[in-house]
Chains A and B, each alone.
Chain A
């Protein structure tokens, strides 16, 4: 039996705003299998970013359990959390969060520095990551010299440069036109297929979501439903359909075991 890489049970997050309590998450349970590509959708303010932050170990839940590769995250100390952020997870922020006055290349290199990648190799990998998102000719631009979409793609490049086991992307294509969006999805699909990297992405765009194998709908801090993508779009149209079928079978098996709360027919 394959263990889920991400296993969240009854996760809640309450923000205290003076007198008022904001219940951003109200008991989210979900699982993601290794090598899966999942899209999370839901209305604005439904708690998607909040959930992603928990999954990336960037914030702590108010209650509930989170098992990452079978280990309870709440048991980890600061060092353990640092190690997860450093080696396991690549994160794309909805607001990019690039370092200002720092070139695209240097921004992408940051996680590699902390990952202990030697200097020359680091540069090489950062350049490759930027080329993958189509920014090979923007290496030395600083964030304020890049368009919104370009900044977003730098953020994507940064998340994948360190080749993490899991990529968590919060609206990675929100600022991109259809074509660039598809290119980024092609990169994710390629990493997912070729390196078995688990990808979880948040999106408002149904077409983007259909690049994933499964879509989880969130509403009002709860998982509303989850559903396999029937007609998955493969951005990189060549080959792949074979493997994709295989994945679908594996996921179907999961469905049968009743892991998910709700599964669309």
Chain B
């Protein structure tokens, strides 16, 4: 026990006596560990952020819109949406939300803004998973009577009603048409390039007849898109087929001809984007691995450069009575102490970098135990191996041979 204590003292004294060598070795460990921790946490934080954003779309949602690449596409109409809502035709559908979307100018008390105005039905709230902040959403009654009522997204709400102004009951103008504000939605954030908060929602029928000039197809008003909520994820595929069948029939598409509409599930997009973020994570991981390797080579270099001096030291120590185990303990302790200190500093630095990057990129970076373990384990293994291996070889030499080593 006291021998071990002595080895500990000798090792520490050696580190203090050779500060530069110790510092350079630790630097290698610090760089390797910090790089891995920072890069991996940034990579993982980024993919978590992206997939979190996509989750917001809802994995049970289908988007239906016109396929403009088809020859003479027939636009989607309110009647198409009503047909899809028929449970006999599409048993998997829980709700159908047609929408007509267009930009418009919104004004109130001299303030002007240009949100996306969407004509929607009550189902839109569920299908798009918005939450109300105050007031109420558009109801069937509003749709039936083409009511001039509006629900504001959080962006136009704060633009038009800055400070503590209470919007409910106030009248705003959309393209000079007066609308009564009946509700404000909670902030939702953006989905990819789409800003979900810079919107004003009005009844679909109002949009089609009172605000915008909208085409009709065989007497039915056109809609921009139909969003469909499916009852469960495993009914997605069958529902896509049902929707296609209904629309092909209504649009009189001959067998063999291409659809004049598209049915898309956000999980398709999730897969695409996840593929991209996975590549990014692998890429960052590769950079981290290279840093680790460079750090490892740094450690190795320092250890090997000092091996001549160390070999002589070992020869001298053996000549004056050190046993092999004394030498090994000394060098093991030295390497472990350096790896520990370097590793801890590296973990600190890496965590700090990932935190800074996280707040700079506005996302949640999490330092994973795995990356810490991997980086620390690798650096420590390199440090200990290149600290111990030459020492072991030297300890096996005759003292004189070790003293003469060049």
Contacts and interface: CB of A to CB of B under 8 A. Distances in A.
B320 A58 contact: no
Contacts of B320: 85-86, 91, 110-111, 114, 158, 162
Interface centre among B319, B321, B322 (most CB of A within 10 A): B321
Contacts of A93: 319, 403
A124 interface: no
Contacts of B319: 56, 58, 85, 91, 93, 97
B402 to A, nearest CB: 9
A128 B65 CA distance: 97
Contacts, number: 66
Interface string A147-171: 0000000000010001000000000
A235 interface: no
B321 A115 contact: yes
Given A97-B316, A99-B313, A82 B18 contact: no
Contact of B399 (A58, A111, A113, A162): A58
Interface residues of A, number: 27
B17 A101 contact: yes
A114 B323 contact: yes
B293 interface: no
Contacts of A138: none
Given A58-B398, A97-B403, A114 B312 contact: no
A102 B316 CA distance: 13
A158 B326 CA distance: 19
B392 interface: no
A208 B383 CA distance: 49
A1 to B, nearest CB: 31
Contacts of A87: 321
A242 to B, nearest CB: 35
Interface string A74-94: 000011001001110001010
Given A78-B324, A82-B322, A97-B403, A110 B317 contact: yes
A53 B400 contact: yes
A31 interface: no
B401 A102 contact: no
A148 to B, nearest CB: 18
B13 interface: yes
Nearest to B309: A100
A200 interface: no
Nearest to A96: B316
A96 to B, nearest CB: 10
A236 interface: no
Contacts of A115: 321
Contact of A101 (B2, B10, B18, B317): B18
Contacts of A97: 312, 315-316, 319, 403
A30 to B, nearest CB: 20
B316 A99 contact: yes
A97 B17 CA distance: 17
A59 B401 CA distance: 8
Interface of B: 2-3, 6, 10, 13, 17-18, 309, 312-313, 315-324, 326, 398-401, 403
Given A58-B400, A97-B312, 20 more contacts: A59-B398, A59-B399, A59-B401, A60-B398, A79-B323, A82-B318, A82-B321, A82-B323, A85-B318, A93-B403, A97-B316, A99-B316, A101-B17, A113-B6, A113-B10, A114-B323, A116-B2, A116-B3, A158-B320, A162-B320
30 contacts: A58-B398, A58-B399, A58-B400, A58-B403, A59-B400, A60-B398, A78-B324, A79-B323, A82-B321, A82-B324, A85-B318, A85-B319, A85-B321, A85-B399, A86-B322, A86-B323, A97-B312, A97-B316, A97-B403, A99-B313, A101-B18, A102-B13, A106-B13, A111-B321, A113-B10, A114-B320, A114-B326, A116-B2, A158-B320, A162-B321
